[in-house]
Amino acid sequence: MKTKKYDVIVIGAGHAGCEAALAVARTGLSTLICTLNLDGIGFLPCNPSIGGTAKGHLVFEIDALGGEMGRVADKTTLHRHMLNESKGPAVHSLRVQVDKVRYHEVMKSTLENQPNLTILQSEVAEILTKDNVISGIKTAMGEEFESKAVVVCTGVYLNSRTLTGNYIRESGPNGFTNATHLSDSLRKLGLKILRFKTGTPMRIDKRTIDYTKLEPQPSQENLPPFSCLTTRLPKPKASCFIGYTNLNTHEIIKNNLKYSPLYQGVIKGVGPRYCPSIEDKIVRFSDKERHQFFLEPEAMSTNEVYVQGLSSSLPYSSQQDFIHSISGLENAHLMRYAYAIEYDCIDSTALSPTLECKFIKGLYFAGQVNGTSGYEEAGAQGLLAGLNASLAIRKKPQIVLKRNQGYLGVLVDDLVTKGTNEPYRMMTSRAEFRLLLRQDNADARLTEIGYQAGLVTKKQYKKYLQKQSEIQRGEKILNTILPPNEKLQKFLTNLGEPKLKSGISIRTLLKRHCIDIYNFNSEFHMFDDFTPSILSQLNTLAKYEGYIKIQEEQVAEQLKNESIPIPKDFDFKSLRGLRIEAQQKLTKIQPTTLAQASRISGVSPADISILTIYLKKLRKNKEET
């Protein structure tokens, strides 16, 4: 047969693969996406939710860059909730329950109807190269395809196996077929393979739950959509519920730990620190009398309910026993048992900040194969890897996001600079400039980048420009000076605020503890024609102005070192004064800037001082010649 040719081939059709394939195809390049099973396209094998702490920020960033995840989440929403509302705006995070069945259907339809995109159900067995440059792929059936770039988005399917007690099954999540060939191909290419582990809870029949014993968590109204292109959100269709384990539950689990493959030593993979199994929680937090969990509907077309917070690898009988010890779940029927899953992934320090392999041109990696966890982390990486593959083929500069530009920038920098020895989860605490990386300004940070790269459409870009124009108009109003007239003085007195002795700007007035743009506007009506989302952003810009300026100054300082490049293939071992550990770490990571070098574990400030002096001399010599 004649070998088929594509510009880019994407391996895997989970959340990373979908975003990567769409990014390439939408920028005009011929794209092939290979998946083990068409029924796994955009599938949510674990919790039926999109967003959450820091993860919601990533979804907004995916949308700002022209990606798909937020659009599909908006279309399939069942329940909406804003996390961390009692805290500052930097950590407000939207989380939605989606219809698991509909999400897959909508995403699959999106891919099927995308021009330039071909879908194939087939296992990729080998990545083909010539002189360390990508040339194509070969499937397990022996079929070969040529390409200029390959994006690996294999998720948790590489040599994966699921474990429930002593029952071990060679499979991917949810019983899907796993990939048994590709890991060997990656090893032969020179990539280091790691073994990680994660898990998923049981699913129970909603008809067997006594909801009267659980705390309802109703959907919140008037929350923003993930996507700027969403004009109308579906009405919430379901509620979530909160429950708690108890001492009896904990005793049952402790008595059954000897049957857990995790504590038997059967599981070799490293698990996620920030999303432990219920066995881990009981052992690590033995002083706690109870642990919280959430009951989340999977879809409107099924009775399955996801038990968020109770992932386990215990045998089926142990799972039944501890579930039935919980108030409200005494008669719960387990429709699917919980399981742990082990899988292969790569050492992400083999990648450059573009997510391209450092030693094989045209080979990109995205998602859980890079050692991350979560749909959102995967989708964001997929979009960046796919877009960069497209930019490289179109001979345009690839995108390297800085830590002050997005959570995606933080995520990628952490992966390629520090690597990870456990499944990496995005958290707001990882972002040192999080006040600048809010959900509400993702478009201001990234839409221009997506538009220049050819992914953001003219329609989306026009909406972005309109929003920025409105914010600028609002900021002018914020600068309005109000005289200390009788109406304003009465407004202040009613709120327990001291009276004014002279005029004051609205911006300064909003910095007062008891005043925000909402109670101000209800009295003075100067912002009546602004949308709720813009009102919220204006309120943040006014109240946190001082803190925002401080972070902007910190960013400017950091960018000084970001602007000092390190030549490609720089010989760090030739530098006198560098410690051996620093030489080894710098040689392995091959940082592209002085700032990235300073973030490598094991490289001290003294090492950076030596490197700085040498780079400045190098730059001076170049300028003189």
CB 374 within 8 A of CB 159: no
264, 314: one domain: yes
Residue 561 pLDDT exceeds 90: no
In a domain, 169, yes or no: no
How confident is the model at residue 359, as a pLDDT? Answer: 96
CA separation for the pair 56, 59 (Å, rounded): 5
CB 416 within 8 A of CB 348: yes
Mean pLDDT of 226-255: 93
Residue 557 pLDDT exceeds 80: yes
Domain end point (choices 342, 374, 389) = 342
CA separation for the pair 262, 581 (Å, rounded): 34
pLDDT tens-digit readout, 169-190: 999 999 999 999 999 999 999 9
Angstrom CA distances, 208 to 25, 202, 301, 320, 527, stand at: 46, 14, 17, 13, 50
Residue 1 pLDDT exceeds 70: no
The enclosing domain of 620 has a CATH number of 1.10.150.570
How confident is the model at residue 37, as a pLDDT? Answer: 97
Query: Domain containing 306: what range?
Result: 203-342
pLDDT band of residue 314 (cuts 50, 70, 90) is very high
284, 334: one domain: yes
Q: Is 321 exposed, middle or buried (0-12, 13-18, 19+ CB in 10 A)?
A: middle
The pairing of strands 31-35 and 117-121 is parallel
pLDDT tens-digit readout, 33-49: 999 999 999 999 999 99
In a domain, 244, yes or no: yes
The enclosing domain of 274 has a CATH number of 2.40.30.260
Percent of residues, the chain, with pLDDT higher than 90: 88
The structural domain count of the chain equals 3
pLDDT tens-digit readout, 79-94: 999 999 999 999 999 9
pLDDT tens-digit readout, 460-502: 999 999 999 999 999 999 999 999 999 999 999 999 999 999 9
Angstrom CA distances, 277 to 198, 204, 287, 608, stand at: 9, 17, 17, 40
284, 239: one domain: yes
pLDDT band of residue 113 (cuts 50, 70, 90) is very high
In a domain, 523, yes or no: yes
Mean pLDDT of 292-303: 97
Mean pLDDT of 11-39: 98
CA separation for the pair 361, 528 (Å, rounded): 54
In 298-433, beta strands by DSSP E: 304-308, 334-336, 339-346, 363-365
CA separation for the pair 50, 19 (Å, rounded): 15
254, 332: one domain: yes
Strand order in the sheet with 49-51: 49-51, 93-98, 77-83
Please report the DSSP string for 200-261 in residue order.
E--EEEGGG--GGGSEEEPPPSSPPPS-TT--SPPPP---EEEEE--HHHHHHHHHTGGG-H
Mean pLDDT of 379-397: 98
314, 216: one domain: yes
Q: Which of 68-77, 532-541, 561-570 has the lowest mean pLDDT?
A: 561-570
567, 537: one domain: no
210, 312: one domain: yes
Token pair belonging to 494:
């009613």
- Which of the two residues, 364 and 267, has the higher pLDDT score? 364
Token pair belonging to 267:
């599981």
Q: Which residues contact 69 (CB under 8 A, 6 or more apart)?
A: 15, 18, 19, 50, 59, 62, 63, 226, 375, 376, 379
In a domain, 594, yes or no: yes
Alpha carbons within 13 angstroms on the beta-carbon side of residue 242 total 8
In a domain, 324, yes or no: yes
Domain end point (choices 275, 309, 342) = 342
Backbone angles phi, psi at 550, to 5 degrees: -60, -45
The enclosing domain of 488 has a CATH number of 1.10.10.1800
Domain end point (choices 313, 342, 371) = 342
264, 305: one domain: yes
CA separation for the pair 207, 217 (Å, rounded): 18
In a domain, 396, yes or no: no
Mean pLDDT of 3-24: 97
CA separation for the pair 322, 122 (Å, rounded): 40
Mean pLDDT of 286-312: 96
Q: Containing H/E element for 152?
A: strand 144-152
Q: Which of 135-144, 320-329, 493-502, 555-564 has the lowest mean pLDDT?
A: 555-564
310, 230: one domain: yes
212, 253: one domain: yes
In a domain, 6, yes or no: no
510, 610: one domain: no
599, 544: one domain: no
In a domain, 311, yes or no: yes
Kindly give the interhelix angle for 458-478 and 442-452, rounded to the nearest 10 degrees. 140
How confident is the model at residue 621, as a pLDDT? Answer: 81
Q: What is the average pLDDT value for the chain, to the nearest integer?
A: 95
Q: pTM for the whole thing? A: 0.94
CA separation for the pair 326, 608 (Å, rounded): 55
Mean pLDDT of 562-586: 89
